[in-house]
């Protein structure tokens, strides 16, 4: 496989790989390193790329595994969700502060979820993967993913309501 064909296959999901790595590793520098490492591994195995059913799902699974290995070796269970993809140039400063506060509250509440639930919420609600793709990435059945996602959303919703009504989380 030549370089042009390789780039046409793997470049469309580069940003998703980076965002997943950033959410798992938190550090932008570490996420860039993880992205580079993934693309280096894909380049080394470029002759096998045609054999994969879904190259993007395969790359996301590799990213997840690499990041989890990094976290295990450097720091135990310090996964965070950081959602910084949303930008709207036409919002007021007050609205922007409110949005940032809500994002920070959700980030805080996400820390109480299990690692698997955090990854499922990240992949489904932020990266917009379908259940089959998430299943390939996490090696889970789609029905188990639906159940875990439903439980995670319910837990987040209940905690968010408590936080908004009573100021407790």
CATH number of the domain that residue 68 is part of: 1.10.1740.10
Domain check: are 75 and 96 in the same one? Answer: no
Residue 72 maps to a domain: yes
Domain check: are 47 and 114 in the same one? Answer: no
**For residue 163, what are the domain limits?**
90-169
80, 108, 137: which is the final residue of a domain?
Answer: 80
Residue 85 maps to a domain: no
- SS3 labels along the chain: CCHHHHHHHHHHHHHHHHHHHHHHHCCHHHHHHHHHHHHHHHHHCHHHHHHCCCHHHHHHHHHHHHHHHHHHHHCCCCCCCCCCCCCCCCCCHHHHHHHHHHHHHHHHHHCCCCHHHHHHHHHHHHCCCCHHHHHHHHCCCHHHHHHHHHHHHHHHHHHHHHHHHHCCC
Count of domains in the chain? 2
35, 60, 80: which is the final residue of a domain?
Answer: 80
Domain check: are 98 and 164 in the same one? Answer: yes
Domain check: are 117 and 59 in the same one? Answer: no
CATH number of the structural domain spanning residue 109: 1.10.10.10
Domain check: are 95 and 161 in the same one? Answer: yes
pLDDT at 28: 86
pLDDT at 18: 92
pLDDT at 148: 94
Q: What is the mean pLDDT of each run of 10 residues along the chain (169 residues)?
A: 83 90 84 90 85 86 86 52 47 71 79 88 85 89 93 89 72
pLDDT tens digits for 15-45? 999 988 888 887 888 889 899 999 898 888 8
80, 102, 117: which is the final residue of a domain?
Answer: 80
């Amino acid at each position: 496989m030549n370089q042009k064909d390789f780039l046409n296959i793997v470049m469309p999901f580069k940003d998703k790989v980076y965002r997943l790595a950033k959410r798992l590793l938190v550090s932008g520098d570490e996420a860039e390193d993880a992205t580079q490492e993934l693309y280096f591994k894909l380049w080394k195995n470029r002759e096998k790329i045609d054999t994969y059913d879904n190259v993007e799902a395969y790359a996301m699974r590799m990213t997840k595994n690499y990041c989890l290995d990094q976290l295990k070796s450097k720091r135990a269970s310090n996964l965070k969700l950081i959602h910084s993809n949303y930008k709207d140039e036409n919002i007021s400063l007050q609205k922007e502060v409110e949005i940032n506060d809500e994002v920070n509250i959700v980030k805080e509440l996400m820390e109480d979820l299990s690692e698997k639930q955090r990854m499922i919420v990240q992949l489904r609600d932020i990266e917009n993967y379908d259940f089959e793709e998430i299943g390939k990435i996490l090696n889970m059945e789609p029905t188990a993913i639906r159940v875990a996602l439903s439980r995670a959303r319910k837990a987040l919703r209940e905690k968010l309501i408590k936080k908004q009504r009573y100021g407790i989380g």
